[in-house]
A and B are shown apart, each in its own frame.
Chain A
Amino acid sequence: MPVKELVEYIAKSLVDNPSAVEVKGIEGEKSLMLELRVAPDDMGKVIGKQGKIAKAIRTLTKASAAKEGVRVSVEIMRED
């Protein structure tokens, strides 16, 4: 799953704690859901002011997945 690697790469490049980055892919027939988990202190690094970073990550992922005709969604998971 190349888009999974893409999300992993971006997240790891942005956070302070790259080893805590985890991306899980849940595949549907023509869609893919990616669950992104980062260390609690790094949440802001992947979300950004008014979700600006999260939005950019989704835009990149969608463009990349569109090449392969896959619909993708990225969810940033909050650990409780």
Chain B
Amino acid sequence: MELRTIERKGKTVDEAIKSALDELGCDIEDVKVEIVEEPSKGLLGLGKKPAVVRISIRQTPEQETRMVLEDLLNKMKIDYVINSVEFEAGRVRINITGKDMGLLIGRKGETLNAVQFILSLIVNRDRAEKIHITLDVEDYRKKKEESLEALALRLSEKVKKTRKNVVMRPMTSQERRIVHTALQTDTQVTTYSLGDEPNRKVVISLKK
């Protein structure tokens, strides 16, 4: 990810930093400061050197994710509006809307998943600590999550009644996480995943 970086000179380090912050229009907390050269008063006016600092804007996960998403959707020529960008517990959630949303979601959410995947790869490229990204369109995912949770609960009732395991259809890791989480607190059933991607399935079974 390319950060905006500028270099400024000044009589003192503080002066150089101030002039850089004025130009970028941000506060000291939002930037990373690197002192390239300490000032030197020189001797009898000889060898006098100004302070040189390098200032780069530190972007929050929200800002960075938003920026990459905008680049990506603009290049895709998609008509969109970003409704919200939230960051909580290492996960950025972005919700967008617009004219082309049917196209952006694609068959069974295939295109939306691909955009989310590429977005996440680009944002996390040079990050030591990875951030999770959830890209949602007009709450498409939220509604799907809710119906998946409801399905998990119904199937868990079936397992309790029939005392037989239920194997769900192959799902993505995100969908599987939703099922595991939904049934985590259930004292009678347990869940685990079986098989290899992209055919990995959740099994719901009775607790022994």
Contacts and interface: CB of A to CB of B under 8 A. Distances in A.
Interface stretch (A19-27, A28-36, A47-55, A71-79): A47-55
Interface residues of B, number: 23
B118 A10 contact: yes
Chain B binding site: helix, strand, loop or mixed by DSSP?
helix
B125 A67 contact: no
Nearest to A13: B122
B77 A64 contact: yes
B77 A9 contact: no
A55 B71 contact: no
A43 interface: no
Contact of B122 (A2, A6, A14): A14
B11 to A, nearest CB: 39
A22 B68 CA distance: 21
Nearest to B79: A67
A63 B104 contact: yes
Nearest to A57: B118
Nearest to A15: B125
Contact of B117 (A5, A52, A63, A67): A52
Contact of A60 (B71, B76, B197): B76
A64 B100 CA distance: 10
A52 B78 CA distance: 23
20 contacts: A2-B77, A9-B71, A9-B75, A10-B75, A14-B121, A14-B125, A50-B197, A52-B117, A53-B117, A56-B118, A59-B111, A59-B114, A60-B76, A60-B111, A60-B115, A63-B111, A64-B76, A64-B78, A66-B103, A68-B77
Q: Which 8 A-B pairs give the minimum distances between C-beta atoms?
A: A59-B114, A56-B114, A64-B76, A6-B75, A63-B111, A13-B122, A56-B117, A9-B75
